[in-house]
Amino acid sequence: MFWFNSIEHNRWLSACLQDLLDYGRKSEVKTGFACLDRDGEIDLEQPIQLYLTARMVHVFSLGVLLGVPGCRRLVEHGIRCLNQYFRDPVNGGWFDAIEHELDADGNAIPYPGRDDKRSYSHAFVLLGAASATAADRIGAHELMQDALRDSDLHWWDSQFGMVRESYNRDYSRCEDYRGINSNMHTAEAYMLVAQVTNEGEWLDRAMRILERVAEVSREYSWRLPEHFDADWKPLLGYNRENPQEAHRAYGSDVGHSFMFSRLILEARAMLKQSGKEEPEWMIPAATGMFERAREDAWRRDGAPGFAFTVDWDGKPVIRDRQAWVQFEAIGAAVTLLRVAVAEDAEAEEVEHYEHCYRAWIDFAYEHFLVRGGRIVHRLSPENKPLDLENQRLRDSVYHAVQAMLLPRLPLTPAFSVALAHGLLDKPLPEEPAHKKRFGGF
């Protein structure tokens, strides 16, 4: 029997998710949701960040739809903070980060050096607002419409079918750099918006992003370039001399390959559900990116765990294990397993993805998920925790929450819409008798 069909396994996933939501509550502050330190306390040395506050709106919207008490207030707190404190009242859009304290007039203070506008953060404003709309929270629909207008006005580049990376505060100067990370999360948000609004344009945009990603990844043996110039030409040597740069690391980030693999398959399911023909490139791209990332990064140091980045020959560059990569690998394995079952794949293929899921969720349980919902965010290549006092944590429970939900939901619709439609814990079809590993009577 598939683990996804096990009542006890789903109860375990639910318990983990409940712990993560409880842990996430600790991040609430007056102006949004803050970073937490390794002990689960508010980190006063880091600003209140737009992407994290918007992520938590998304996460707590899922909590609302799951029926978890207390989440409704947290969603509305996040929406109010995005509107009241993060909005730029002069130039429009949202500040990327603000100070913990307000000025004498009760207004937010943009964090020094972070008063710019970034499409990565904007993607989460759109995602959070769309999920809150699905959860029917006050102010959510208006926030989503504002974010869509901002996407049209500043971020979507119809020439290339991708989003731009960043602007200065008044949108007068656009950065020449283009990045895969911001486009990945924008595609995620567009796919959700398409389902919340029933407007196909947003899926069309997501498909343009996904197709370009598939094309460029295929050119490099399914390793995904991260960095590009303004004409979307890959910058393969970007940050080669500074490979540990946290936000724009040199090489290919295997976590992004796993997440794109999942998004491609979810977009394919959306197309099928709407009666449209899915392009032939989608399954080969999803499987190619998944297998390349798995082969390049899993157990490369003689111990379980994924290296964070690899070079263009597949050699690990940043060997630390990061929790979010593990959670995205779990999500990709889930989606590929569901597709394999739906497409009546050979037993060996089904068993391969099921084995990946079991091995990777075991590893997450043993190394990243701490009782009570806290996450160990980084491990050494020897799988020793690296969440030390001098290392700033900048993640949230977002990746982990989605990894705990994915095995309990169908490929489509997206998380919040699926929960709103009551699609939690619908079992996978059982294996045909001739493919069962045991018995078959």
Q: How do residues 316-357 score in pLDDT, each as one tens digit?
A: 999 999 999 999 999 999 999 999 999 999 999 999 999 999
Helix axes 71-81, 50-66, angle to 10 degrees: 150
The answer to whether the predicted template modeling score (pTM) of the entire model surpasses 0.85 is yes
256 in active site: yes
Q: Cα separation of 172 and 108, whole Å?
A: 22
pLDDT of amino acid 432: 45
Q: Cα separation of 355 and 336, whole Å?
A: 12
pLDDT-above-70 percentage for the chain: 94
Residue 251 near residue 241, CB atoms below 8 Å? no
Long-range Cβ contacts of 112-115 (<8 Å, 24+ apart):
114/47, 115/169
pLDDT of amino acid 302: 84
- The H or E element spanning position 150 is helix 140-150
pLDDT of amino acid 394: 55
Is residue 245 pLDDT above 90, yes or no?
Answer: no
- The two structure tokens encoding residue 273: 């559900």
**What mean pLDDT comes out for the span 238-256?**
91
Q: Which of the following is catalytic: 77, 122, 256, 352?
A: 256
Residue 122 near residue 155, CB atoms below 8 Å? yes
**What mean pLDDT comes out for the span 270-297?**
96
Nearest to 382 by CA among 324, 307, 316, 311: 307
pLDDT-above-90 percentage for the chain: 87
pLDDT of amino acid 387: 61
Q: Report how far apart, in Å, the C-alpha atoms of 134 and of each of 55, 195, 252 are.
A: 15, 9, 34
Q: Cα separation of 35 and 24, whole Å?
A: 10
Return the bridge partners of 48, or none: 98
Nearest to 398 by CA among 30, 49, 5: 49
Q: Cα separation of 165 and 235, whole Å?
A: 15
Is residue 436 pLDDT above 60, yes or no?
Answer: no
Q: Which residue has the tokens 């929406």?
A: 79
Q: Which of the following is catalytic: 100, 154, 377, 399?
A: 399
* More reliable by pLDDT, 191 or 39: 191
235: three-class secondary structure by DSSP? coil
Sequence letter at residue 52? L
Residue 97 near residue 49, CB atoms below 8 Å? yes
pLDDT of amino acid 40: 84
87: three-class secondary structure by DSSP? strand
**What mean pLDDT comes out for the span 39-68?**
95
pLDDT of amino acid 115: 87
**What mean pLDDT comes out for the span 229-252?**
92
Query: Which residues neighbour 405 within 8 Å (Cβ) at sequence distance 6 or greater?
Result: 13, 17, 62, 415
Average pLDDT, the chain: 93
- 10 Å Cβ neighbour count for 334? 27
Structural domains of the chain in order of their starting residue, each with its CATH number: 3-425 (1.50.10.10)
Q: Cα separation of 248 and 294, whole Å?
A: 21
- Alpha-carbon radius of gyration of the chain: 21
Q: Cα separation of 209 and 220, whole Å?
A: 17
